[in-house]
Amino acid sequence: MDNLNSVLLEGNLVKDPDLKHVGEDERPVCRFSIGVNRYRKDDKGEIQQFSTFVDVEAWGALAENCGKYLKKGRGVRVVGSLKQESWTGKEDGKTHSRLLISASHIEFRPEVRKTENAEEIVLEEESDVSEEAQRG
């Protein structure tokens, strides 16, 4: 049986991204979390919203662009693969793990600025970035 590890999610950043440079070569990595909503009717027929929060990481030029253009509330479409991280807790000595999305492509949704009377959509900063495009 073939294996497939591919994820596509759309959501909004729940806080500002964290851009760091790691390792001897100072490779950029940007980590952020998005909230993804889904809707379904309950037993009374009323629509209920359910939110899932997903951690995302991006590397290289993709990470740099995320650090530059993303902020809390900005919408994104993330394409990538599931990655499992494991570590031993410093305080409890127990093994912990989590799943996250290792992004290969991220689309930045148009920024919406709210004013007193309306919402303004800003298209100038919309960007579509993938690892393949960054490698040239």
Residue 16, domain member (yes or no): yes
Residue 110, domain member (yes or no): no
**pLDDT score of 115:** 72
> What DSSP element (H or E) covers 131?
helix 131-135
Q: Which of 71, 60, 65 is nearest to 22 (CA)?
A: 60
Give the pair of three-digit tokens for residue 66.
Answer: 């995320």
Based on the structure, what is the number of domains in the chain? 1
Residue 120, domain member (yes or no): no
Kindly give the pairing relationship between strand 75-88 and strand 95-108.
antiparallel
Residue 131, domain member (yes or no): no
Q: Is 79 helix (H, G, I), strand (E, B) or coil?
A: strand
- In angstroms, rounded to a whole number, what is the distance separating the alpha carbons of residues 100 and 84? 6
**pLDDT score of 128:** 52
Domain enclosing residue 26, as ranges: 9-88
pLDDT averaged per 10 residues, the chain (length 136) = 90 97 96 96 92 97 96 96 94 94 95 69 52 48
- In angstroms, rounded to a whole number, what is the distance separating the alpha carbons of residues 112 and 99? 30
Residue 69, domain member (yes or no): yes
Q: Which of 72, 78, 75 is nearest to 109 (CA)?
A: 75
**pLDDT score of 2:** 80
Residue 74, domain member (yes or no): yes
CATH number, position 27:
2.40.50.140
Place of tokens 């990481």: 57
Q: Which amino acid, one-letter code, is at 16? A: D
> What DSSP element (H or E) covers 41?
strand 27-41
Residue 59, domain member (yes or no): yes
Residue 1, domain member (yes or no): no
**pLDDT score of 20:** 97
